[in-house]
Amino acid sequence: MGIIGSRGTGNITSSRRVMDVPEKIFLLQPDAAPLVQILFKAKKKTAINPKFTWYERDLFPKRDQINDSKTHTSTETTFTVDHGSYFKAGDVIKDENTGEQMYVSSVSSNVLTVIRGWGETSASAPSDDDYLLVLGNANEEGASSPGLKSETSTEVYNYVQDFRSPFEITDILMNSELYGGGDLQNERVIKLVEHKVDIERALLFGERKEDTSTGTHPIRSTRGAVKFISTNITTATTITETTFETILESAFAYGSGTKVLFASAKLVSAINYWGRGKLKTVPKDETYGISVREYLSAHGTLLVVKHRLLANSSGANYGGYGLILDMDKLFVRVMKNLDTKLRTNLQNNDETKEKDEYRTVCGLQLNNEEAHAVIKGVTAYS
């Protein structure tokens, strides 16, 4: 019988239904898409709109530099700094270079007026670019509350992307006896792995976009980790262990003490070369089936994952990449009710074949980009 008007659940055959993909299906080839493997198993949040937003707020800055190239003396009482807004009257500050402690009596724009030698260390001439560290504020006994300073929250956003992986099999092929099992089931397994890898690429390399120019409805793409990270980026053509430790120093300056390095083969070879005594294998039952080696540094614990998508034997392009990610600050945002599903029997009624597709609508949330790092350009090591 024909259908006039909208097609809905009440006027299609029961075989044209959507099946939730069993959770265990994500254990297929876990090393093919390790970021997806971790996020979908343990770091999943619901998105209730295609544009999802979060807010980030850092601690108020407590360190700044003198910004005045003149010859300073031990008696001057005013200093120009980079950011006068970091200070307020009543702050106790210390010149990290000379060790002198001073008391801020007033602030006007980027000019501090201070009491010199306010402590046990005598006043001495500071230098341009000396760091001034705020040690807190000191208040007169019985005084009213000091002035207020706080950081504002920053809005960050991303979009979900509609990932679809269709495939179809003729009824004759479905009913043929084949070595290795039925072709439909094999195709479902292969296409699910491909679907995961497509999502993985977007979560790594994607750029944020909402395009309303192409048709009735928007097309959206999600921003990946590489595009989010802007602070800790190191290009190292020939990477050394010293350079690597410097990278870890920055990467572990914020966030958790355990992070994951998704590394190209070239970078994995470098770590194996330096770190034979620092590496140990982590059991797969603790890592969602992913092959992981643990690298111990004084800066923190680094879980090293060789990533197949960071591939190029010469180290060119993504073959020279490594991404250090703080998984405590990383989430996959899945559109409400649109987690990975297998949609079956999508073919037209008069077609003698079955058409299915996997569909996932999701995007990446990466909090506090300063807690992550990118290594790129690695073509050799020493």
Least confident interval from 94-108, 113-127, 183-197: 183-197
Among 311, 329, 103, CA closest to 228: 329
Which residues of the chain does CATH 3.90.1690 include?
18-55+156-381
Please say if the pLDDT value at position 6 is more than 60. no
Q: Which CATH number fits domain 63-137: 2.40.33, 2.70.70, 2.60.40, 3.90.75?
A: 2.40.33
Residue 4: the pLDDT is 46
* Distance from C-alpha of 251 to C-alpha of 115, rounded to nearest angstrom: 37
Which region holds residue 67: left if phi is over 0, alpha if psi is between -120 and 50, else beta?
A: beta
Residue 142: the pLDDT is 83
Please say if the pLDDT value at position 22 is more than 50. no
Tell me what the mean pLDDT of segment 37-47 comes to: 89
Residues in the chain: 382
Give the single-character DSSP code of 370. G
CB 132, CB 100: distance < 8 Å: no
Which region holds residue 29: left if phi is over 0, alpha if psi is between -120 and 50, else beta?
A: left
Least confident interval from 115-119, 306-310, 352-356: 352-356
Measured at the CA of 251, the angle between CA 262 and CA 227, to 5 degrees, comes to: 60
Show the DSSP H helices in 319-370 as ranges. none
CATH of domain 18-55+156-381: 3.90.1690
pLDDT band at 285 (very low <50, low <70, confident <90, very high): low
Least confident interval from 135-144, 261-270, 314-323, 367-376: 314-323
Tell me what the mean pLDDT of segment 65-89 comes to: 93
- Its pTM stands at 0.77
Beta-strand pair 380-381/238-239: parallel
Which residues of the chain does CATH 2.40.33 include?
63-137
Residue 1: the pLDDT is 46
